[in-house]
Amino acid sequence: MPEINLIAAKKQMIEQQLVSRGILDEGVLRAMSSVPRERFVDKAMERHAYEDGPLPIGKGQTISQPYVVALMTEALDLTGNEKILEVGTGSGYQTAILAELAHTVYTVERLESLLERAKKILKELGYTNVLYKIFNGSLGWNENAPYDGIIVTAGAPGIPEPLIEQLVEGGRLIIPIGNRFGQELIKIKKTGGRLRERTLGSVKFVSLIGEHGWSD
Ligand code: SAH
0.85 exceeded by pTM: yes
Question: Residue 62, Cβ neighbours under 10 Å: how many?
Answer: 20
d(CA 145, CA 55): 31
Contacts of 215 (CB under 8 A, 6+ apart): 209
Give the pairing of strands 194-203 and 183-191. antiparallel
State the distance from the centre of ligand 1 to the C-alpha of 10, rounded, in angstroms.
Answer: 24
For ligand 1, say whether the CB of 93 is within 6 Å of any of its atoms: yes
- pLDDT of the chain along its 216 residues, tens only? 567 899 999 999 999 999 999 999 999 999 999 999 999 999 999 999 999 999 999 999 999 999 999 999 999 999 999 999 999 999 999 999 999 999 999 999 999 999 999 999 999 999 999 999 999 999 999 999 999 999 999 999 999 999 999 999 999 999 999 999 999 999 999 998 899 999 999 999 999 999 999 998
**Atom 18 of ligand 1, nearest CA residue:** 208
Nearest to 114 by CA among 153, 71, 142: 153
The separation between CA 178 and the C-alpha centre of its own chain, rounded to angstroms, equals 17
Task: Report the topology of domain 6-203.
Answer: Rossmann fold (3.40.50)
For ligand 1, say whether the CB of 114 is within 6 Å of any of its atoms: yes
> Which of 34, 64, 207, 215 is flagged as catalytic?
64
- The domain segmentation of the chain, as residue ranges, is 6-203
* Contact call for residues 195 and 169 (beta carbons, < 8 A): no
